[in-house]
Amino acid sequence: MAGCHRAVFKEKWLQEKAPEHFVAYFETSKGFFEAEFTRAWSPLAVNRLFAEIKYGFYDHTLFYRVRPKFVAQFGVDDSVKIKNWNKHKVPDEPVIKGNSRGTISFARGGKDSRNSDLFINLGNNARLDTIHSSGVQGFPVVGIVIRGMKVVDSLYSGYSDTVFKKYDTLLHNKPLFLESFPKLDSLKRIRFIVNGDKIPREEIKN
């Protein structure tokens, strides 16, 4: 997989079309899990996510919000990456696949705002399919965890939503943020699974 220096961004990356289906594995501080992404569920968002994974957008980030039985949320904490990628908006799309346990969706805070942060549903969150917030309806699913959901369930959840009190610190001074929330788990990297290559079974919890 190609690397992506924090200050490097090429607009041509956004022109790449994702495969109709692709699988990636996530290496976290708690172990590995696999997720499959389906372009038909949210084509524009899956195209964006495919490029973000390919060019290392999410490497070395945090699961900064884990709310028990609700969501495990992660996103980029590098302000340079965010500035480069987020200026290219992802248009809103309708919800096709429901936010059931194990599904993955982009977080968003208004119109055309799906760019950086994603969440994994830890429970069946059907209300997220239709909820109205900041002028948009619902959170379109882009993928689903297919192996290793126990790893996702084991991510540290003791801080829950209290992290939002110092979220701005995460974007500007990550070490200081971690002084307040030292137990947060990390996302080391995401890689595509190519030609059926699988994570060694001893390295993943089913």
**18-23: which pairs have CB atoms within 8 A and are 24 or more residues apart?**
18/43, 18/46, 18/47, 18/49, 18/50, 18/51, 19/50, 22/50, 22/192, 23/146, 23/192, 23/193
Domain residue limits, the chain: 22-194
Judge: domain 22-194, CATH 2.40.100.10. yes
Q: Give the per-residue pLDDT at 34.
A: 96
Can you tell me which residue has the tokens 């799906």? 114
Which pLDDT band, with edges at 50, 70 and 90, does 202 fall under? very low
Which pTM was predicted?
A: 0.91
Q: Give the per-residue pLDDT at 3.
A: 42
20 Cβ neighbours under 8 A, 6+ residues apart = 38, 39, 40
User: pLDDT tens digit string along 61-107?
Assistant: 999 999 999 999 999 888 888 888 888 889 999 999 999 999 999 99
Distance of alpha carbon 123 from alpha carbon 69, whole angstroms: 5
User: pLDDT tens digit string along 2-32?
Assistant: 444 444 788 888 888 999 999 999 999 999 9
